[in-house]
Chains A and B, each alone.
Chain A
Amino acid sequence: MKISTGEYIIRETMLSLKRNSWMSFASIGTVAVSLFVFGMFLILVVNMNRMTDSLESQVEISVYVKDEVNEGGIRTLEERITAMQGIESVKFVDREKAMERFRDRLGDQQFLLDALGDTNPLPNSFEVRVIRPDMVRTAAEAIAELPGVETAKYGQDVVEHLFDITRLVRLFGLALMFVLALATLFIISNTIRLTVFARRKEVAIMKYVGATDWFIRWPFLLEGVVLGCLGGIVAALVLRGAYRVIAAKIYDTLTFFPLIPENPFLHYVTAAILVCGMGIGALGSTISLKKFLKA
């Protein structure tokens, strides 16, 4: 492409944005809203994923050891569990420690334990963690088979529910993003269609005097990309600000909440929004030009 052609394309794009300034403004706004919701869901889904992952990974298998197993047996058992596949950590909790914890958890109601006197009904146990949440079931089943193990329990129902919820949020988020992408595409292609329509005489003359399709297409394509990009910038700025405010609030009140830190996460989200905006802008222009250039 020649330099003068590049100049021409940029000049035409700017002129057209200015000439249809209200329409441009409206479409930047709509793109911004769509991309904002898109970004919001992106952030939500990624955070949900992270949260469920972290909750899932916190799911432990409680392995209760039979009372008759002696200290040596306990050590062998620990070694055998540690040697199994997918095990992250194995921690031994003896019955006294377990009682202590139980007492702590009861707090004000420790008197309930008075009835027990000096007897300790709690067994020795192991707290076993696995590398990946989906390994919990198989690991628990395998551990339960070991000699000297009374039972191996984990929060089956909780894990299953978590999986279901995560899946649902991901699915819903993806579906919503898809719908929003289509809506944004529609808005941009309509805006460009209006621009093309406003300039149809010019385009017709360009065709009569022998301009190539690409020469005609470039300014419109660029216009779509600029609209998408500007909308994306607005959406990204608002989202970044909002995330900062909300994150600060969450850290103040729910310190344990596994929110993803701003950097570099927000940069990735911004990049995703801009790329989506520009891509959708380019695609929108291409769609509205396709029919027009055919003739």
Chain B
Amino acid sequence: MIDMKDVSKVYENGAMALDHVNVHIDKGEFVFIVGASGAGKSTFIRMLFREVLPSDGSLIVNGQDVVHMDHSDVPYLRRGLGVIFQDYRLLPDKTVTENVAFAMQVIEAPRRKIQHSVNAVLDIVGLRDKYKCFPSQLSGGEQQRVAIARAIVNHPALVIADEPTGNLDPETSWDIMDIFKRINADGTTIVMATHDKGIVDAMKRRVIAIEDGHIVRDEAQGVYGYEN
């Protein structure tokens, strides 16, 4: 699913965010990316959906060569991915249904399919009864569930989550993790950057630790390994 070889990233200001990183992630894996702020976690995550381009090395995501891709092919790479952020990034003037449907509208899906798929994912995240609400009427956890619904509505092979529980209390975080687990159980690969020691330690999934742009640890059933 992800094949990162010798990837480095040097920003224009000269900062080296990643230094010859090699990672291979198989289809169906659930991977945590951990590390302190500024360690290169965010760069790693943003490279996967080509918001950041590697300065050096090769990167294959979902069978597509991210480095040598034409600018015009980027949308098609992203259609195979679902992206989730810490701040949800919902559209405030659209309802729950509209926010989720938006992801299908912009890739020009047929209307009937949109309705069907939106209802299905709202069931998965448990928000079917709040479909008419606006984001401002929802709690943080509910908003993040809408964001997850939007990310998975196009059936991506890979879900990328950047600190999805960063703004949530522990109990709500666990609700979100339950949804991720279910999505993963259906065969979707999940790569999640997090600071949440409790979650990482309890989930017992693969953990990749990044420090100063290097991978310092890659364990199949790892723990967070830092003191929060």
Binding site for B on A (CB under 8 A): 2, 4-5, 8, 201-202, 204-213, 215-216, 294-295
Contact = CB atoms under 8 A, between A and B. Distances in A.
A209 B103 contact: yes
Contact of A209 (B79, B110, B111): B79
Given A4-B105, A209-B83, 7 more contacts: A5-B108, A205-B91, A206-B102, A209-B106, A210-B79, A211-B75, A215-B106
A208 B83 contact: yes
Contact of A210 (B71, B72, B78, B91): B78
A212 B91 contact: no
Interface of B: 49, 51, 71-72, 75-79, 81, 83, 89, 91, 102-103, 105-108, 110-111, 150, 154
A8 B98 CA distance: 12
A4 B108 contact: yes
Q: Please indicate which of the listed interface residues B76, B106, B111, B150 has the most CB atoms of chain A within 10 Å of its own CB.
A: B106
A204 B102 CA distance: 12
A261 B149 CA distance: 65
A209 B83 CA distance: 8
Contact of A211 (B49, B72, B81, B107): B107
Contact of B91 (A5, A8, A202): A202
A196 B107 CA distance: 20
A206 to B, nearest CB: 5
B154 A213 contact: no
A215 B111 CA distance: 17
B111 A4 contact: yes
Contacts of B154: 209-210
B102 A212 contact: no
Contacts of A207: 75, 78
B76 to A, nearest CB: 7
B46 to A, nearest CB: 11
Given A4-B108, A8-B105, A215-B106, A209 B89 contact: no
A212 B111 CA distance: 18
A151 B71 CA distance: 76
